Amino acid sequence: MQALSQRRATLLFAVVLILSIAIAACAPNPSAGVLSPELGAKLVAEAANAEVEVVPTPEPLAIADMTEEQITAGLPPDFAAALAQAHPENGEKLATANGCIGCHSLDPSVQMTGPSWMDAGDHAARRVPGESPAFYLYTSITSPNAFVVDGFPQNIMPQNFSDILSEQDIADLVSYLLSQHE
Ligand code: HEC
């Protein structure tokens, strides 16, 4: 009787041991790739025995991180000279005197005919890939239809600012808009 229950206990122990080994063998491998957008690339690289390099998403361009040359790249030389000695405070006055602020507001929650000028410098850096923010703003004022901002109509912004404003006035306006950034 005693011997029988001992044999049973041994058998039970053996069954539990085998089951544990089997369960452990089926458990997921913790070093295997976690489901992620990079998993495919990781598996390919691992198969090729290569180092896995995850490229970080680039930060959006921002005026605060750009050099003077990057901000003003591509400008016509005359205009670049005017911008170098521009006065943003005068640009702000010109924006009122010329009715810009009738269509552009610094407050993005105020719906106006034109895009908000909040962080206008940063937006200008991102609108057209390869265009510097100063070049984009200069072009936006002198030929507004060269690039039409998504969600806004073309031909609404007056097309004649380059006729009625001096180059220095436009440079002052651009320097004022460039000063609007995070
Ligand atoms: C009658 C309305 C109106 C007036 C006045 C006006 N704009 Fe605009 N502006 C627009 C509209 C609409 C757009 C968007 C369509 C486009 O890109 O042309 C725009 C776009 C712009 C942009 C590009 C903005 C961006 O976020 O990319 C700049 C810069 C700009 N205007 C500057 C000016 C300046 C400077 C003046 C005054 C000298 C002015 N605007 C006067 C309507 C106006």
Inside any domain, residue 119: yes
In three-state form (DSSP H/G/I as H, E/B as E, the rest C), the secondary structure along the chain is: CHHHHHHHHHHHHHHHHHHHHHHHHHCCCCCCCCCCCCHHHHHHHHHCCCCCCCCCCCCCCCHHHCCHHHHHCCCCHHHHHHHHCCCHHHHHHHHHHCCHHHCCCCCCCCCCCCCCCCCHHHHHHHHCCCCCHHHHHHHHHHCHHHCCCCCCCCCCCCCCHHHHCCHHHHHHHHHHHHCCCC
Residues 33 and 123 reside in one and the same domain:
no
Q: What is the pLDDT of residues 2-35, one digit of tens each?
A: 565 676 766 555 555 554 655 566 566 555 566 7
Task: Pull the structure tokens for residue 61.
Answer: 């361009």
Residues 88 and 156 reside in one and the same domain:
yes
Residues 79 and 131 reside in one and the same domain:
yes
Residue 99 Cβ < 6 Å to ligand 1: yes
Residues 41 and 105 reside in one and the same domain:
no
Q: What is the pLDDT of residues 45-81, one digit of tens each?
A: 777 777 777 888 878 899 999 999 999 999 999 999 9
Chain position carrying tokens 């002052």: 172
Whole-prediction pTM? 0.76
Please tell me the least confidently modeled range out of 26-40, 89-103, 105-119.
26-40
Ligand 1 atom with the smallest distance to the CA of 149 is 17
Residues 73 and 35 reside in one and the same domain:
no
* Segments forming the whole domain that contains residue 146: 63-178
Give the CATH number, domain containing residue 83.
Answer: 1.10.760.10
In terms of Cα–Cα distance, which of 96, 85, 69, 70 is closest to 171? 85
Residue 123 Cβ < 6 Å to ligand 1: yes
Residues 138 and 70 reside in one and the same domain:
yes
Residue 178 Cβ < 6 Å to ligand 1: no
Ligand 1 atom with the smallest distance to the CA of 99 is 5
